[in-house]
A and B are shown apart, each in its own frame.
Chain A
Amino acid sequence: MSAIEEVATEAPAVEAVPKRAMTLGFGTSLVVLGLLVIAPLFVKNFIVFQLTMLLIYALAVLALNILTGGSGQFSLGQSAFYAVGAYTSAILMEHVGMNYALTLPIAGIICFAFGFLFGQPALRLSGIYLALATFALAVAMPQLLKLGVFEHWTGGVQGLVVTKPDAPFGLPISQDRWLYYFTLVVTIGIYIASVNLLRSRSGRAFMAIRDNEIAASAMGVDVALYKTLAFGVSAGITGVAGGLGAIAVQFVAPDGYTITLAISLFLGIVVGLVEQLPASIVGSAFIIFVPNIAEGISKGLSGAVFGVLLFLVIFLVPHGARQVAIVAQQLIGKLKKN
């Protein structure tokens, strides 16, 4: 029985994109940005809260996008990094009394370190094995957070309540709206940084590893360093998203960060297409709104409806949002010719 496997017959983790940059055009970006700025002015506080969560999950999906779309590695364990970020922010705010905005960079740095360290063993794994190892991390995290040893800090099973920040300088807007704009600024900042990262030397190294690891190392790319770095960056951004999430929800508890969250984020990149950063927001919308839609269609069968919708996405638009965009472009092109 031969144990040799041809590389050529193996399906890649993600399909390579011909396009080098993973971004939208300048005009489209401005339109999207305009919509995001204006939207919360016309809706109720609860919807503003949902929009905030949309941005936060978009940030987490973006982080996973850098890892999977950028460097071709998998992770079903993003909820663990999200949880660490959330707890870091919550503990710093409630026990240390730090300003909420200052806790975010700290959450990011701690998660970066955590992700970088986890990236070390993950180096030796690829594909389904990596999925399994990260899956294990996600399942173990709530249990670790419940541990008696940390209970003084984490509040154990009960979790921690986080105070919601007021708008600064006496601005006459509600807490929810302020938090939305704060999240928007953070998200845009990280988005721009991510785009620049992927266009830099490091970003090209990530993509070279994704497309062909052996060729990349032959070209002098330090595969081990960049793979762990991708894990670290992804975890760091996820940590910031987690911190924002803790502030927005005003509560952290171990059961908020189960494997379900990790799976949601994973589905976010499957739907929001792997290689394009702006599509993260489409993925985020899918994971926030589709379960609600499914529940609306049938309460008892919400899981089944969700699964069927997911299969529909996989079969009809296997390349996610990008495919929709390309088809739309072709249609417009045809109409113009006529």
Chain B
Amino acid sequence: MAFDIDRYTATSVGVAWSDLDLEAFRREPLPESSLRTLRYMADVEYHTVCYTRDLLTTPSHREAEMSAFMTMWNREEFWHGEALAAVLAMHDITVDYDALKANRMKLGWKDRLDPIKQSVLGGLVGHDFVAVHMSWGAANEWSAITAYQRMAELEEHPVLAELLRRIAKQEARHVAFYTSQARERLAASTKAQKVTRFALSRFWAPVGSSISSEDDVRHVMTHLMSGAEGRRAARKVDESISGMPGLAGLTIVQDALDRLGVAA
């Protein structure tokens, strides 16, 4: 079904949590390992504007629908970061703009070179490169929804579960946009299929990998995606990705878990 961009923009809101009793986290704090995962998630959400940078170096930013989506998406993800930061604050963990800036400063040359690489690749591949970005985005957003759902199930903390449910609901609309764009662009071009398949199978890593230590990535993936249930969740994401034109048989999420040594 085509994505209704007008409805999306008209109903895009920052996630709200003022009605939730965050004091519950003082009474029943989350364990350290869960806070580490939440911190990872908050960093990823706040980093959306930087991920956007790479997307903007391709021709896609000039399309009205894409521009509208990115505007709303950025704002919604920012508020996800704020929501998760609010939970962390109840555990006396501060994620403020100075801390985020310090993390971004640590990213080094790879971070500086990324937009140049993206621009060059975009120029070489041409308009089909947008399909790569859309498919990549779909994979990331599916993973994000899965991560929030798994976190909510594992923690069994009612306030956290409700907050993560609200965040996941917004992520579902992001998935809808990315997949509708990806499907359309992949269906229209075998070149797009080939480039996307190559890029995803060779380079995709769990969202947050480029801004976190491998230790942190391994921790989060082990926390959320290990064991039979975690692997089943990963398989579901892979089925969604591989269901897109030209991507049959891809198992990028399970492959990433295997590479990280996350037990099935």
Q: Do A and B come together as binding partners?
A: no
Seen from chain A, the residues whose Cβ lies within 8 Å of a Cβ on chain B are none
Seen from chain B, the residues whose Cβ lies within 8 Å of a Cβ on chain A are none
